[in-house]
Structure 1
Amino acid sequence: MLGPVENRSVSPVFVGRAGELAALTEALSRAAAGEPQALLIGGEAGVGKTRLIEEFTGTARDRGAVVAVGGCVELGADGLPFAPFSAALRTLRRLLPDELTAAADGHHGELARLLPELGAPGGHDPADEDSTARLFELTVRLLERLAADRTVVLVLEDLHWADTSTRHLLTYLLRTLRRGRLVVVASYRADDIHRRHPLRPLLAELDRLRTLRRIELPRFTRTEVHRQLTGILAAEPDPGLVAEVFERSDGNAFFVEELVVCHESGCAPGRLGDSLRDLLLVRVEALPENAQRVVGIVAEGGSTVEYGLLAAVARLAEDDLIEALRAAVGANILLAAPDDDGYRFRHSLVREAVSDDLLPGERSRLNRRYAEALEADPTLVRADERATRLATYWYHAHDPAKALPAVLRASVATRERHAYAEQLRLLERAMELWDEAPAEVRVSLRPIDYAESYPPCGCDPDTPLRHLDLLAEAAVAARLSGARERALKIGKRALRILAAEEEHDPLRAAWFWTEKARLQSNLGRGDGREEIARAQELVKGLPPSAVHAVVLVGAAGWGMLRDPGPDALTAAERAVEYARLVKAESIELNARLTLGTIMVAAGDVDAGLAEMHAVRERTRALGQFTETARAHINISSALEFLGRSTEAVEVAEAGIRLARRYGLVDSVGWAEANRAESLFSLGRWDEVREAAERLLRSATSTKPRGSASLRLAQLAAARGEPEAAARHLADARAVYGTRDPIPQYTLPMAQVAVAVAAAEGRIGDVRTELAAAERGGFPPGTHRYGWPLVLTAVTAEADSRGLPAADEGRAEALALVRRCLRSLAAPVPVWAAHSLYVSGELARAEGRESTDRWAEVVAAHEPLDRPAQLARARHRLADALLTEGGRREEAAALLREARATADLLGARPLREDVDLLAARARLSLAPEETHPAPAGPGDDAFGLTPREQDVLRLVAAGHTNRRIAEELFISPKTASVHVSHILAKLGVAGRGEAAALAHRLRLVDAPR
């Protein structure tokens, strides 16, 4: 019964697409060799994407590959979270049960959010912002392990219907997939991707991935349509039919099939109306009445409708239902769904046409019957789809009393799967239904059932659910899904409602103000100080509560980053106390970690580190791995603060391993940023570049990417690449903005800006940057960032001593340096060494340096693991020794050590300074040169004649050629010739560079 119609409508011969199929099979071969592949297939509806994929998957199976296909599900505006991944993983579990269990590696609870067959999902923490990233990482790791020893083909169809969570997971998969014999093929309907379609930005992002190949399917040519017709008819088609079908179908393969069916059934194509819908409905209207009725029911039920559910809705006798289905399948309108006891349309275009042909009242009635059938027997659909589908059916049945609770239950189900974007959409639908639902329905709802954020937002679980509870839950969902702008908008709306209500609700308002502070800081809209203060004022005098503890944690965290002084310490201590009183251990551990960090900054080092280590171990024992990773991040930062950079690297690397194991992508970024900072201190600069570039590629949060740009800027400045340093600095400033001046970002950025200005001879800009930093202040605990800034600025002052342009305003500049010093503490050896170094440069800038002072600086740095700074200090000591005279061998040894370090680091400015000093003193830096020849009176390693030395002295004083001529009683032309010779011998481009070099190398007498 099925055969004749099928043979006439679908060509058994695969037509065209030879190049596209070759690209897919080539990817299969590459994957089999261990190189994972990703391909994206686009084309208009009916152009042949599914047929191409079927041919490819058939070839893959013939070659021994395991094929798993999952399609995105269209359910109105809702979508099923992760539907294609769940379907594909379900297939992999059926085909490779033991292998998938082993590949899950003990993470069955997390992966059950995608594949419920693995067991009950793990617990959910609304404060865990890494939950979605962790699920994504575990999914990718699962696929990589499954594809380690066999070729796996993962096909994801119909991305134009993909939910937000599916799009995010696919993006993560394609960005991070690095190993395994895996081929990922995704398809989408190109003609549906309008300007505002959510898939459009994803396609633009994927196009930038070098690992992805995009295939666009064109329509068939006339020759290909001729071959398709030959295959369908099993005979040579009439030329007139070929011409007419090609003209009417415009080369669309599916339309060719439909037109052939019309022709074979006696409906001449020329008699059809111009409407595409009419063409697609021709075969449906030719079906028996019961079959048409069943087809309409299936069209409204979703992408696939299970047989039991269909039977309950159709209300036909079983024999009549089977006969109707046989007719629809025989007409090639419906297909039995693979691996399912259900039915779907062979092509979605027909489903859309049938659905659109239903009357509005008819659609509402069918959705109600679907909902009633599912409520009567929930086992009719899979458990992971039940809540969302029931919510969709009731919503489209236009029954707010039934739809509101169903939508809220679906929001809980999506939250448990970490599908926060879908949760947000459902909550917004619930807010839309709120006023329409009867009052007795609303008062029957309880926050404890639907709003998991209720403990921190202050809801009473014994009172009815309120609209504000939905706003709180929606704000959290928006934040966790990355929609921070939407979260901020929801929070502002809630605060307006609270302000307008007669009944004062301080706990709820305080929670929303704390959320607003966090979001504004994340978005660079402000520092959140005013919002935190409002929240603290609201909870003042109230009994201890979880909200009170959250507010205090927010205040302590604000102070930890911006002003880690007594107020921050007090807030952290009180947050710990309040969290313990209300037995909120997760809030307590968060507060204790903040407290330990502030204690270290305040100088209580041992106790602070002990507190942080205790939090790390407790959170690990509780399985709160996000907080464990944060402990690694804070401990590594504290160790770097103390100058214990080697330990800091070890702790950061342990944190990276832990974060990767549990899929904490944001935590990986923060730990990697800390590691790069400590590597820079240790002089492992090549590793810094690798880490920073990796961080720029992989970090999901903006601030770790800003840290990577900042690190690259520092590295470029240290290696004598001011243009690159300025470029990276601009990138960092774009990330951190200007509305939230956090010292750990602003002070290092100022240090780079000072270094770039000094390298380019802009001493005025050096002073401007330092003055701006001094106005911002150096709060307690920020000396870690303040000392390098002040050292860079005062070194620039010392290097420019004697230059007329720099001498003007020098007294004010050095007074500014001294004001900065009064604000900077030096509690541990590394900062004490910085203090000595700054004092040495300050003395050099004032012309009162001494060998003893620089010897003290070198001695202070030798026990520290700071090779770059030690090498620069040795260079300064060598310079002082040579100036005083008589200690040339000692100076040569110091310069050799400094030169070796400069070579190792790639520090070009330091290497040039060492070489120039050695050249001036006629010192050889070769290891075998143990007795350097003394320089005679008036000797000059650059070969300057006495007259040229006189001219250089006047150039350094800022004189013009005419003024030089007057001073030396020579003609201006002769002065010009002398200046040209001097520039060539010194290897500089202009008079300013010559003057700076002369002062730096003491080729002229500097003013005292």
Structure 2
Amino acid sequence: MLAPVETRSVSPVFVGRADELDTLNDALSRAAAGEPQALLIGGEAGVGKTRLVEEFATAACRRGAVVALGGCVEIGADGLPFAPFSTALRALRRALPDELAAAAAGQEEELARLLPEMGEAGTGRHDEEGMARLFELTARLLERVAADRTVVVALEDLHWADASTRHLLSYLLRTLRTGRLVVLATYRSDDIHRRHPLRPLLAELDRLRTVRRLELARLTREEVGRQIAGILAYEPDPAQVDDIFERSDGNAFFVEELAVAAHEGCCAGLTDSLRDLLLVRVETLPESAQKVTRIVAEGGSTVEYRLLAAVARLTEDDLIEALRAAVGANILLATPTDDGYRFRHSLVREAVGDDLLPGERSRLNRRYAEALEADPTLVPADERVMRLASYWYHAHDAAKALPAVLDASVAARSRHAYSEQLRLLERAMELWETVPEDVRARLRPVDYTEVYPPRGCGPATTPLRYLDLMAEAAVAGRLCGERERALKITKRALHLLEDENDPLRAAWFWVQRSRLVQALARGDGWKELATAQDLVRGLPPSEVHAEVLAMVAGWSMLHEPGPEAMTAAERAVEYARMVGARTIELNARLTLGGLRVDAGAIEAGLAEMYEVKGRAAELGMNTEMGHRAHVNLPSALEGVGRSKEAVGILEEGVLLTRRAGLPDSEAWVWGNLAESLHSLGRWDEAVTAAANAQRIEQSAKPRTGGSMRLALLALDRGDLPEAARRLSAARASFGTHDPMPQYMLPMSQIALGIAAAEGRPADARTELLKALDTGFPPGTQRYGWPLLLAAATAEAEALGLPAAEPDRPEIIGRIRKAAKTLATRVPLWQAYDQWLRAELLRAEGRFAPEEWAAAVEAVEPLERPYDLARVRFRSAEALLASGSGEDERDRATELLRLAHAVADHLGARPLADAVALLAQRARLTLTATPGPAPDDPARALGLTSRERDVLRLVSAGRTNRQIAEELFISPKTASVHVSNILSKLGVSGRGEAAAVAHRLGLFPAEVLQAPSAG
């Protein structure tokens, strides 16, 4: 009778969980319809999470879904990164080999960091975007695999997850957009104490509307009775059910253990101790089987058969008999791949492990380590170094553990698992002083370090130093987001360097501190960079020296562009070339190009930036420089008014950064694209681009740019509450620790515009004066002109308000004075200059039609429809206010119609309302006169309405200057129109054009009469 019970300690009847299973099946149905689903299943140990997942997986398979299971393992705490994702992807590869290969095509090198079977992992540079790139590629891989079939990815035991797994899961659940995909994860809720690393992730995921969270409750008495009946295959005695229910408190696993123990007659001897309950059946096994369970308990969540055989040191027959007994008692299970064994429940493994004596535990770990060193093929290749490091560390053999831990840190870095790399490096630093000097002397930097050295700080043949470990740990901490820990490490390193004459190492650590201080919003990072610059001053060229200069130039470009920044960039390029630091060279050249644009050497600067973009493309788009070029170059183009050119590069950049899996770079590109689309009058597209920048951002600065663009669009459309909300979000994201002009000036412009629109002129002036007191650094004219224009417009709108009158002359004077400091080297800035002059005259109560006509002429060629509509409106207003004649009224009517059409198309409600109000007051109609008939020859020839007007005057014998005066355009613009007309008519001169117009009867004879003299 005992045999059936031994194999059925797990009830064949699935008890309870009907509601939870319905929720999971509903998620499966939604996923099958193309809506990705994410679920978290929590519950105490033994409550039935795994059983629920198994039942759901079985049902999902029956419905045609592909199920990929992956489990976190406790060795993750020792640095085995991405374990559940690797296992799940491996399962997908077995189930869908062709589909997975097609989905991963072109990105195998990166994805091999998660699934080594895809090939050799790439050896590219490790930077801030390395992990983000891997995460993005993984998310898109799963979306592509699940494009045509339903896929379930189940990750168990999230409470054991390594930090990299937690980060990847968070990214995945936040960014899944398409695909027939269900992602679910289980965790022990009773293990999640206040400081457990999973706790903040759960809180973060709770805020996502796309994630559902299930908490499994304990079983009721009725459910316990049904579970016992399933285990025993007969109805149990009610008193027995009461007893087991009371002792198990409804925990499904404890019910199983108590039911089997009671049936085997062990119940009388059991205490209430959980440990005793879990160990009671282990202790009834033969001694050899107990020995094997102890070995398996210390080997990890799963132990391969060949490794177990090497450690157990039993004959094969004895080992198999011992395993048969443990499996028969339902204590151990064979793994799904049939190459190893694991405990049926982790609680039993923990109890067996806790029962080991301290010396016994270290001895078993040593045997595991020795067996693995003797035959590395005993475990999967991607786990080998991590497990060896764990075994030697827990064997308390520091001399063996240190190199093993360092090897594991290198493996973690190669997988972009920087959290695990940091933990392993900290373990190496902990072991350092306990390791004999001769062992440390055999360790070489080139074997264990990537970021530094070698960086010009000494030959690679020198022994590894404690400072080298600190350098690697500082960078790992920065890359994985553990910036506080990294900052502490740099502080300790610099303290150690106080007693050494090693300026290059010290400068390198100061550069890291600068980056960390900025990332932690502790300051702008200049003090740290200046210290590094002082340390390398006068030293021979080196990679560290070049990087310091490149960092100084980059910082200065964003904060204080000028001659010193230019000099630093030029020297950085020179030094980087001398030492062969190609990435630093391109980085510095891109900065140099931007600085040249800011300094006025616009074509030379843009040419430099275009060349860097081309070189980066030659090196491959996965380089950091390639992505930066697609951000900085179009930003420079937009700054000088070449928005359409910028859009082409940015659209290319969106595709390239997305393909490379770089969300932060993609967010920057989207933010810049929103700005250029806004300029070109493609506002709906700009809103989408800005929203994309915020949706995929990973850091505060792209989020700030997206919020600013959305705020300005809302302001232009008259949605003041939305504009204020977006501005507040921008300021909250960016803060005040690092007042860069490219953020602070546009935010001041938006705040000023909101205040003016809400009738708060004093607040608008306050924003202006704060900006003027700070000043406009060289190269910030792209931000300075719009701010001054917004201030002048606010003053003009406040004309006549008693509260705004006293300080008006002073404010206008300060605006004029500030404008004189801004460059006017390109047509865009010249147009702003002319526009500002006209606006300031309006603020003084003077209507100057000629100034506004000049502003219209300056803005017309710029392809900025909203700006053109605004100046046309003001030009019409000036014409009507000047009391001119009928010709001026006709011109004003035309200008208002054009402005209103643009405002209406863009949804610029304040401008549209202002135009309509002015037209109403002037008794002008905004409805255009009926246009040419559909069969009108002018339309058939492709002539626009303006070209039709110009052709009428050409046919009447007007010169370009006379045409310009009559149509209120510039002679240059009139000349362009005449050239276009000649081209469309296919004629070579004005006389032929007039003849064509006469032959086709385009104009009545009376309109061709020459004007009377005078």
Per the TM superposition, whether the score is higher than 0.5 is: yes
Out of 652, 655, 659, the residue aligned to residue 653 of structure 2 is 655
What is the one-letter code of the residue matched to 2:604?
A
**Contact 1:5–1:330 (CA under 8 A) maintained in structure 2:** no
Residue deviations 1:15-69 (CA, integer Å, cap 9, x gap): 1212222222232233233332222211111111111111111122222322211
Within the alignment, does 1:463 sit opposite 2:450 as a pair?
Answer: no
Out of 298, 301, 323, the residue aligned to residue 300 of structure 1 is 298
Structure 1 runs (4+) greater than 4 angstroms displaced: none
**Contact 1:770–1:793 (CA under 8 A) maintained in structure 2:** yes
What is the one-letter code of the residue matched to 2:582?
E
**2:790: which partner in 1?**
792
Aligned residue for 2:652, secondary structure, equals helix
**Contact 1:447–1:460 (CA under 8 A) maintained in structure 2:** no
Aligned residue for 2:77, secondary structure, equals coil
1-side partners of 2:250 and 2:299: how far apart?
A: 31
Within the alignment, does 1:581 sit opposite 2:578 as a pair?
Answer: yes
Deviation, 1:8, is 4.2
1-side partners of 2:38 and 2:842: how far apart?
A: 61
2-side partners of 1:851 and 1:663: how far apart?
A: 53
**Contact 1:5–1:332 (CA under 8 A) maintained in structure 2:** no
Residue deviations 1:565-622 (CA, integer Å, cap 9, x gap): 2111111111111111111112111111111221222222222222222222222222
2-side partners of 1:811 and 1:66: how far apart?
A: 74
Alpha carbons of structure 1 residues 537 and 927: separation in structure 2 relative to 1, 3 Å = same
Q: TM-score, normalised by structure 1?
A: 0.90
**Contact 1:795–1:841 (CA under 8 A) maintained in structure 2:** yes
**1:505: which partner in 2?**
502
1-side partners of 2:7 and 2:411: how far apart?
A: 44
Within the alignment, does 1:851 sit opposite 2:852 as a pair?
Answer: no
2-side partners of 1:189 and 1:80: how far apart?
A: 20
Aligned residue for 2:471, secondary structure, equals helix
Structure 2's unaligned 5+ residue stretches are 932-1014
What is the one-letter code of the residue matched to 1:619?
A
2-side partners of 1:649 and 1:551: how far apart?
A: 32
Within the alignment, does 1:423 sit opposite 2:424 as a pair?
Answer: no
Residue deviations 1:117-140 (CA, integer Å, cap 9, x gap): 1121111313x3211111112212
**Contact 1:510–1:535 (CA under 8 A) maintained in structure 2:** yes
**1:97: which partner in 2?**
97
**2:882: which partner in 1?**
884
**1:612: which partner in 2?**
609
Deviation, 1:158, is 0.7
**2:993: which partner in 1?**
none
1-side partners of 2:720 and 2:459: how far apart?
A: 59
Deviation, 1:92, is 1.7
Aligned residue for 1:38, secondary structure, equals strand
Aligned residue for 2:272, secondary structure, equals coil
229-238 or 813-822: bigger deviation: 813-822
Within the alignment, does 1:42 sit opposite 2:42 as a pair?
Answer: yes
What is the one-letter code of the residue matched to 1:910?
L
**Contact 1:5–1:331 (CA under 8 A) maintained in structure 2:** no
**Contact 1:507–1:548 (CA under 8 A) maintained in structure 2:** yes
**1:995: which partner in 2?**
none
What is the one-letter code of the residue matched to 1:477?
A
**1:413: which partner in 2?**
411
Aligned residue for 2:928, secondary structure, equals coil
Deviation, 1:76, is 6.9
**Contact 2:2–2:264 (CA under 8 A) maintained in structure 1:** no
744-753 or 562-571: bigger deviation: 562-571
What is the one-letter code of the residue matched to 2:187?
Y
Deviation, 1:95, is 2.2
**Contact 2:332–2:341 (CA under 8 A) maintained in structure 1:** yes
Aligned residue for 2:382, secondary structure, equals helix
**Contact 1:447–1:459 (CA under 8 A) maintained in structure 2:** no
**2:29: which partner in 1?**
29
Deviation, 1:459, is 4.8
**2:6: which partner in 1?**
6
Aligned residue for 1:525, secondary structure, equals coil
What is the one-letter code of the residue matched to 2:903?
A
1-side partners of 2:343 and 2:353: how far apart?
A: 11
2-side partners of 1:18 and 1:825: how far apart?
A: 72
904-913 or 331-340: bigger deviation: 904-913
Deviation, 1:721, is 2.7
**1:984: which partner in 2?**
none
1-side partners of 2:845 and 2:63: how far apart?
A: 80
**2:180: which partner in 1?**
181
What is the one-letter code of the residue matched to 1:904?
H
Aligned residue for 1:184, secondary structure, equals strand
2-side partners of 1:443 and 1:792: how far apart?
A: 66
Q: TM-score, normalised by structure 2?
A: 0.89
Q: How does 1:552-631 map to 2 (within 5 A)?
A: 552-623=549-620, 624-631=622-629
2-side partners of 1:249 and 1:688: how far apart?
A: 60
What is the one-letter code of the residue matched to 1:264?
H
**2:977: which partner in 1?**
none
Aligned residue for 2:281, secondary structure, equals helix
Aligned residue for 1:862, secondary structure, equals helix
**What's the Cα RMSD here?**
1.7
Deviation, 1:690, is 2.2
Alpha carbons of structure 1 residues 581 and 3: separation in structure 2 relative to 1, 3 Å = farther
**Contact 2:77–2:160 (CA under 8 A) maintained in structure 1:** no
**Contact 1:569–1:595 (CA under 8 A) maintained in structure 2:** yes
Q: What percent of counterpart residues are identical?
A: 68
**1:979: which partner in 2?**
none
Deviation, 1:296, is 0.9
1-side partners of 2:614 and 2:786: how far apart?
A: 34
**1:373: which partner in 2?**
371
Deviation, 1:79, is 4.5
What is the one-letter code of the residue matched to 1:187?
T
Residue deviations 1:379-406 (CA, integer Å, cap 9, x gap): 1111111111111111111121111111
Deviation, 1:457, is 7.4
**1:967: which partner in 2?**
none
**1:952: which partner in 2?**
none
What is the one-letter code of the residue matched to 1:218?
A
Deviation, 1:750, is 0.7
1-side partners of 2:43 and 2:912: how far apart?
A: 59
Residue deviations 1:404-454 (CA, integer Å, cap 9, x gap): 111111000000011011101111111111122222222221111111112
**1:485: which partner in 2?**
484
1-side partners of 2:298 and 2:47: how far apart?
A: 24
**1:728: which partner in 2?**
726
1-side partners of 2:5 and 2:720: how far apart?
A: 74
Residue deviations 1:285-320 (CA, integer Å, cap 9, x gap): 111111111111111111001111111111122211
Within the alignment, does 1:863 sit opposite 2:864 as a pair?
Answer: no
909-918 or 320-329: bigger deviation: 909-918
**Contact 1:73–1:79 (CA under 8 A) maintained in structure 2:** no
2-side partners of 1:752 and 1:459: how far apart?
A: 52
**1:665: which partner in 2?**
663
Aligned residue for 2:78, secondary structure, equals coil
157-166 or 769-778: bigger deviation: 769-778
**Contact 2:76–2:161 (CA under 8 A) maintained in structure 1:** no
Residue deviations 1:971-1002 (CA, integer Å, cap 9, x gap): xxxxxxxxxxxxxxxxxxxxxxxxxxxxxxxx
Q: How does 1:706-745 map to 2 (within 5 A)?
A: 706-745=704-743
2-side partners of 1:2 and 1:25: how far apart?
A: 36
Residue deviations 1:448-472 (CA, integer Å, cap 9, x gap): 1111112347353121111111111
Deviation, 1:778, is 1.1
Alpha carbons of structure 1 residues 76 and 286: separation in structure 2 relative to 1, 3 Å = farther
Aligned residue for 1:316, secondary structure, equals coil
**Contact 1:703–1:735 (CA under 8 A) maintained in structure 2:** yes
**Contact 1:556–1:569 (CA under 8 A) maintained in structure 2:** yes
2-side partners of 1:6 and 1:832: how far apart?
A: 89
**1:392: which partner in 2?**
390
Out of 518, 535, 540, the residue aligned to residue 538 of structure 1 is 535
Deviation, 1:99, is 2.4
Aligned residue for 1:431, secondary structure, equals helix
Aligned residue for 2:649, secondary structure, equals helix
Within the alignment, does 1:897 sit opposite 2:903 as a pair?
Answer: no
2-side partners of 1:101 and 1:866: how far apart?
A: 47
1-side partners of 2:98 and 2:718: how far apart?
A: 57
What is the one-letter code of the residue matched to 2:59?
T
Aligned residue for 1:460, secondary structure, equals coil
What is the one-letter code of the residue matched to 1:46?
G
**Contact 2:295–2:364 (CA under 8 A) maintained in structure 1:** yes
Within the alignment, does 1:773 sit opposite 2:771 as a pair?
Answer: yes
Aligned residue for 2:212, secondary structure, equals strand
**1:692: which partner in 2?**
690
